[in-house]
Structure 1
């Protein structure tokens, strides 16, 4: 047992990486626009620690527009092989330009070119238009490194609630909730249990 939610996350995440057949770092990202209309989609966790949980995207996408209007989000990891899930809620901020540059440089070239070619979440009249834009980016950056597009970068969800859910027989599940409390000497976490 631990009273540190980040240590517990690290343990569960390591176990998921060993048991999940596909994308153990996949997480549902829930946002809401300025009118409160919710949206949810799957994204990939690309960094985590006590400072938060990081993902990257096109900053013109619907999720980015939601976050610009309402900088709060919820994440959900569901690891079916382990019969576990983790729910995370908190404020969202942009990662630094240096962090975005470093992660973008680590991506495969095709993914880098795709980031330039895509107007993510915008209407697309035909797949061939996107494919032509991708080919144009291949030509544009032929023989050189692909820089990070100015419209692409990372976001960090800084949690104030983290819930660990473990399946138990007869729906007698175990739910551990960690809630952040901010004090003059820094943030601390209070642990409690929830009824299943």
Structure 2
């Protein structure tokens, strides 16, 4: 029974954590780790190519198309080829990221929503814990919905309670964080006119 309580709370906490951080933020973070671990040459190649393009463009701007046409034309062709290579590399990266994103979102869905459904269905008739007899009167049947024994708390109801608890906790943390950062700290004076001028300069 205790293990079931911990399992349900852990699953609900992970789901809430994903929601707090944001799935897009997690995707970027995990994808960057994936590139560093499995494709470090791709990122370095892209950065090297971008640097080369900037250098060649700067040299091209300093070269006269009339006085040094041969050199200018050679630089122009080199810049165009590098841009084509970069666009091709970016296209491959975008395709790889789209495929990675599909797999990542599938894993996240299974670890959160999917696991909640599986646990809720598997333990649909199991009580998470029993309520003290007579404490909630006729409401006892509601805590047992849909299939748990009367007088107990079902998995579905306990999941709802965990979500509500974590939602309140999130709100409290945000309020404390905003209050802490909105209050002026001790020892900080309001900026004097001289400091404002120095900042503007």
Class of the TM-score when normalised by the shorter of the 2 chains: under 0.3
Higher strand share: 1
Give the TM-score normalised by structure 2: 0.18
Give the TM-score normalised by structure 1: 0.18
Which structure: larger Rg?
2
Higher helix share: 2
